[in-house]
Amino acid sequence: MPRPTILCVDRTNDGRAPFTQAYLELLRVWLANTHPSRPWVFKDISSAGLLISSDFSRKHSTLFPSGGKSLFWTNQSRANLSLHAFAAGGTFESPEKRTIMARVGNRKLRGIRSSDFMKCFILCFDSQSYELLKLLRQAAAIDSATAQTAEIHLLEIGSDLHLSESEMRMAKNLLRKWARENLGWKAPGVDIKEGFWGTRQVVVTEAGVGALLREKEKRLVEIKRVTGAEVYFSEEMDGGGRVVSLVGSKERLDVAAMKVLYTW
């Protein structure tokens, strides 16, 4: 069964969405690091801002509150308040957390695309966004003359995570519950750093990914053979690169990462 793809959506791509992305990524790594079989419970996760202007949102601006006036252009300035509050909370302290937080913190802010409605799950955080996303999913289906498969889930996480420890705690509990019910995730019995394995993530250009996968994945098979690492690819990122995640022996991860980065 294919691993799910997930999009997290708030209004500005600078609040609950990136926090949810980072937290779910860490739940995935926690399980992979501590389970003998290194399960990777979803393929890809990203975030978007519902009110950030995009080709798709401008085309369907009449569906938005106040029409196109509610849409805005982003200058890529990020406050990252929820991410900073989560980072300061002391959970999941590890090299993996530092890598994920840095990458998500430096994400490219973007609006909604028509293709987003072909993902497995879209997560949003208030009822107004939920209703609007359902309308936009219908519009995407009409545009493409293809049924849009994304399940839209409403997770009622408060917008003041960065101001309230109790709100942050409730958000984490809600996301764990969602991951158990929808991803088959199970809470490990040991800390992320005490598991059998470690995880490294590197960003590889599309050309590098092509080199890894050509000739029946010859180079990728060799990397796995030499290092014993499991290798997982995200979907295409903005800028033409993909996140490659390596899960394996902590002593061999640096070698595996180097071999992936220096493939051409």
Asked whether the predicted pLDDT for residue 103 surpasses 80, the reply is yes
3-class secondary-structure state, position 91: coil
Give CATH superfamily name and number for 197-264. K Homology domain, type 1 (3.30.1370.10)
The string of pLDDT tens digits covering residues 205-247 is: 888 889 998 988 999 999 999 999 999 999 867 666 899 999 9
Q: Which residues contact 254 (CB under 8 A, 6 or more apart)?
A: 200
Average pLDDT, integer, range 93-118: 95
What pLDDT shows up at residue 215? Answer: 85
Q: What is d(CA 261, CA 61) in angstroms, rounded to the nearest whole number?
A: 42
What rounded mean pLDDT belongs to the chain? 94
pLDDT at residue 235, as a whole number: 85
Considering the segment(s) 5-196 as one domain, its CATH architecture is 3-Layer(aba) Sandwich (3.40)
Q: Domain spans of the chain? A: 5-196, 197-264
User: Which among 205, 237, 239 is positioned nearest to 47, based on CA atoms?
Assistant: 237
Which of 236, 259, 257 lies closest to 246, judged by CA? 257
pLDDT per residue over 49-84, tens digit each?
Answer: 999 999 999 999 999 988 888 899 988 899 999 999
pLDDT in tens, 137-180: 999 999 999 989 999 999 999 999 999 999 999 999 999 999 99
